[in-house]
Structure formats: structure tokens, C-alpha cells
Amino acid sequence: MSFNQWIDRYLRRLAFGRFLQKAAEWMGGFLFAFGTLVLLVKLMIPAWWPHVLWVGAAAAPVALVAWLQSRAQCHSRRESAALLDKKLDAGGLLMTLSEMPDDRWADRLPQLDRVWRESLPKLRPVRVARYLALPLVFAVAAGFVPLRKDVAERVLRNTVGRQTATQLEEAIKLLDEAKILEEEEKRELQELVERLQEETRTSPLTHEKWETVDALREKLQLRLEMADATMSKGEAAVAALAKAGEHQQPLSPERAAQLEKAVLDALKKLPPGALSKSAAQAGKDLERLLKNGRFDPSQSPADRQKMLEELKELLKKECDKLSQCRGKCAKCLGGLCEGNGFNNQKGEKADGKPGRGGVNEGRGDAEMSYGDKADDKNTKFKDVVLPPGFFDEPKNDIIATTPQAPDVDPAADAPRSARRLSDPAAGKETWNRKLRPRHRGVVRGYFDSGNNEQPSIPAK
């Protein structure tokens, strides 16, 4: 191999070394930037993961830039010859021969390939790898950083509105399945929910829409609770009627009418066909009574008792069904109808145990006691005639005129003061204040001046 070839080889080695150096610098910077970007995305913008990994494809352009830069800074052949000359300790002969070839001097150059080969610069990929190790570890470690929980997903726009509308829709469906809603009412509610869905699709929930949602929830809850209350009242009325019939205790006409009305209301609220599913004879009787508009069974006591028992069973079933419906609706209506009765709303975490929050009638494990409650006849609330009221006239008339200073004890003359009832000395501080001796003479002189025309303070 001629010395020119060795110079070219040396030049290529230099160019490659320069490229490695530039590539290491650029790739190191790129890996640091990439790792930082991955880290930022994982911690700040999780939605961009794993798309951010596509940025890794920029390694190719970065390598290209490094190659172009190394080309621009590459050694010339002259410099390559000079460096190789120095390495061989040729004293400039190699440079000279590369410019002015001369066979007479060429043999003065080293003749062994080994010497030339040893003069070539050694490529050091390990050094490059060591240079890139830290950035690479950083980039890889950034890839293993756990993705932050996407909070943006939970607060996506209109998600709450859509969920609320869906819950309302489900609640309507449940109420419809329980035959609580009438057709027209159901259609109106569905229209409202559909309108709400339409509005929340393009715009967020505003406080007006929240009010609409709350109104719908309350309406559905009211319907459910009204149905529940009607059934409960009906069941209680049937039980009361049955009890009265069983013990042969005649009810007052008002009470009987009240109970019958409650039973009729409950029967009216029963789903269509519910009566036909009950016992054959009792069902027919009940349908008949319902058509008459009066609960006036004129059967024999035994039949009447039997019908009441069946009716009681029927209403109890309906109550249970409504309780199940209430449980299903609890989630849809935001917990408004959770519980077993009126105003028995519990919080999200309420489970009847103390300290879990929610609204109830007391500790879950405590026996509820409301004291001396009024019965259904309201016998404890009787009218009491109060005595007629009167106006207390003020005593501001002139009683008499005296020529001397009045001896007044206002504290004694003010019995009406509420405070004086408990504190007899109240209000006496001002009146009981003693005049100073030098003032006393002035006051006395004023009143004892002999001017009879001046008004006098009435004597006690």
C-alpha cells in the first residue's frame, strides 16, 4: 500500500472519528432532550403518551446533522498528511512526498505496513458509548417513570352533564318499569332529559342546567316517594281496618272514611293488572269497589277480613317492589331517594353506622324514640281558647304640681321592666346618683327661689 493510500485511510479514520465525536455530542443532547420531553409528558400531559415516543424518530435527522457538521469540520488531505507525518516522525518527508512525489525519497519512509497501521488513530466506540451512557440511561429511565393519572380524563368537558342526563334517563326507565309514571308524564320527562342531553353535548353544565337537573331529580324522587307513601298509607289503612274488624272495634265515621280513602288511593295507584293477578274473588271485589269509587265492602265479616288480608299482602308486595326500585334509583338520583322512607336521605358513605355521615334519625345501632308522638287522630292537639289581650296605656298624665322638688323613686315606679322582676335594683343607678354638695345648693336654690309660676314636679 502506497503512502498516499495510507494518507487517505488516515483521512477516512479522522472523518469517522470526527463523526463519532459530533454524533456523540448531538445524540447526547438529543437523548437528554428526549428524556426530558418524555418525563414532562408523563408528568404533565399524560394524554400524549405514548405518541411522544415518535419524537425518538428524530434521532435519524440528528445523526444526519452530526454527519453534515463533521463533514464541514473534516480535516483536509494536507492536514491528514501532516498529522500522519508527525505520528510517523517523518520530519515532513511524508508531507513533501504527498505534494511532490519522488521515488528517490519514498524509500526513506517506513516500509512496514505494521508501522503505518499503528500510526492510524484508533477508533474508540467504548468512549462514545461511555459518553452516551448517561443520556441514554436518563432517556430510558424517563420511559419507566409511571404515567401520572390522567386527571384531564375525569374532568373532560360535558362528561358530568352526559352522565347526569344518562342517570336521569335510567331513573325514568326504572320508574316506568315500576309503573309509577303516567304516559304523559313520562313523555314530558323524557323530552326534558333529551333537551338536557342536547344542551350538554356542546356546552358545559351551568348552574341553570344544574337547577334543571336538580328539579328533575326532585320530581322523580317525589313521584317515587309519593307512590311509596301512598302504598304505605294504604297498607297501614288496610292493616287498621283489618285490626278493627278483627277486634270488633267500630271506627269513628271520620276515621273510617280516612282509612277508606287511603286504601282507595293506594288501589288507584296500583299498576294496571295488579288486581287481576291477585286472588280471583278478592280481585274482582276490589275492581268493583274501585269502579264504585268507594271502599265499602258489604260482604260478610269473614270475607271482608279475607279480602283485607289479601289486599294487605298485595300492598305489601307493591311496597317491597317500590323499595327495590328506590334502591336502584338511589344511584341515578344522586342518593336522593336512598333509604326506606321520607326524609331518610343518607350521604354517599352512609351505611347506618355511627360516624359515617349522612342524614338519618340517629345512630344506626340505636333504638329510635320520638317520645310521646301524636297518634293518627291528632287527639293530643286540642284547641285551647286564650284570654283576650289588652293594651297597656302609658301613664304620662300630669297628676299634680308641687312647689318643691319632687321626691321621686323611679325604680319603685317601674314595675313593668322585665329585668326588674329578677333584679329589683336594676335601673336605679341614674336616679339614685347623689348630687355633690356644691350642686345640691344650686338645685335647691332653683326650686326654692319662690317662683310660684314655674311648673312643679308632682309630689309623690
Q: Does 111 participate in binding other proteins (rule CB under 8 A)?
A: no
Pairwise CA distance, residues 261 & 306, whole Å: 19
Report which of 371, 339, 345, 372 is spatially closest to residue 359, judged by C-alpha positions: 345
Nearer to other proteins, 12 or 419 (CB): 12
Q: Does 28 participate in binding other proteins (rule CB under 8 A)?
A: no
Q: Which stretch binds other proteins (CB under 8 A): 79-87, 192-200, 205-213, 309-317?
A: 79-87
Contact 319, 311 (CB under 8 A): no
Nearer to other proteins, 88 or 168 (CB): 88
Pairwise CA distance, residues 362 & 53, whole Å: 57
**Candidate list 12, 117, 127, 444; residue touching other proteins; CB under 8 A:** 127
Pairwise CA distance, residues 72 & 55, whole Å: 26
Q: What are phi and psi of 167, to 5 degrees?
A: -60, -40
Q: Does 24 participate in binding other proteins (rule CB under 8 A)?
A: yes
Q: Does 130 participate in binding other proteins (rule CB under 8 A)?
A: no
At its nearest, how many Å lie between other proteins and the CB of residue 155? Answer: 51
Q: Does 79 participate in binding other proteins (rule CB under 8 A)?
A: yes
Q: Does 121 participate in binding other proteins (rule CB under 8 A)?
A: yes
Q: Does 373 participate in binding other proteins (rule CB under 8 A)?
A: no
Residues between 233 and 252 that touch other proteins (CB under 8 A): none
Q: Does 262 participate in binding other proteins (rule CB under 8 A)?
A: no
- What are the cell numbers at 240? 287498621
Q: Does 191 participate in binding other proteins (rule CB under 8 A)?
A: no
Nearer to other proteins, 90 or 270 (CB): 90
Q: Does 83 participate in binding other proteins (rule CB under 8 A)?
A: yes
Pairwise CA distance, residues 137 & 315, whole Å: 73
**Candidate list 100, 155, 385, 386; residue touching other proteins; CB under 8 A:** 100
Q: Does 99 participate in binding other proteins (rule CB under 8 A)?
A: yes
- What are the cell numbers at 355? 360516624
Residues whose CB is less than 8 angstroms from the CB of residue 99 and which lie 6 or more positions away in sequence, other chains included:
none
Q: Does 95 participate in binding other proteins (rule CB under 8 A)?
A: yes
**Candidate list 4, 8, 13, 143; residue touching other proteins; CB under 8 A:** 13
Nearer to other proteins, 82 or 279 (CB): 82
Residues between 421 and 450 that touch other proteins (CB under 8 A): none
- Classify residue 290 as exposed, middle or buried by CB count within 10 Å of its CB (0-12, 13-18, 19+): middle
Pairwise CA distance, residues 347 & 360, whole Å: 9
Report which of 210, 221, 102 is spatially closest to residue 171, judged by C-alpha positions: 221
**Candidate list 82, 239, 350, 459; residue touching other proteins; CB under 8 A:** 82
**Candidate list 78, 353, 377, 440; residue touching other proteins; CB under 8 A:** 78
At its nearest, how many Å lie between other proteins and the CB of residue 53? Answer: 29
Q: Does 66 participate in binding other proteins (rule CB under 8 A)?
A: no
Residues whose CB is less than 8 angstroms from the CB of residue 143 and which lie 6 or more positions away in sequence, other chains included:
38, 53
At its nearest, how many Å lie between other proteins and the CB of residue 98? Answer: 8
Contact 150, 47 (CB under 8 A): yes
At its nearest, how many Å lie between other proteins and the CB of residue 149? Answer: 44
What separation in angstroms does the CA of 73 have from each of 22, 123, 132?
Answer: 10, 18, 21
* 226: alpha, beta or left? (left if phi > 0; alpha if psi -120 to 50): alpha
Residues whose CB is less than 8 angstroms from the CB of residue 93 and which lie 6 or more positions away in sequence, other chains included:
85, 105, 108, 109
- Enumerate binding residues for other proteins (CB under 8 A): 13-14, 17-18, 20-21, 24, 73, 75-76, 78-79, 81-83, 85-86, 90-93, 95-96, 99-105, 108, 121-124, 127-128
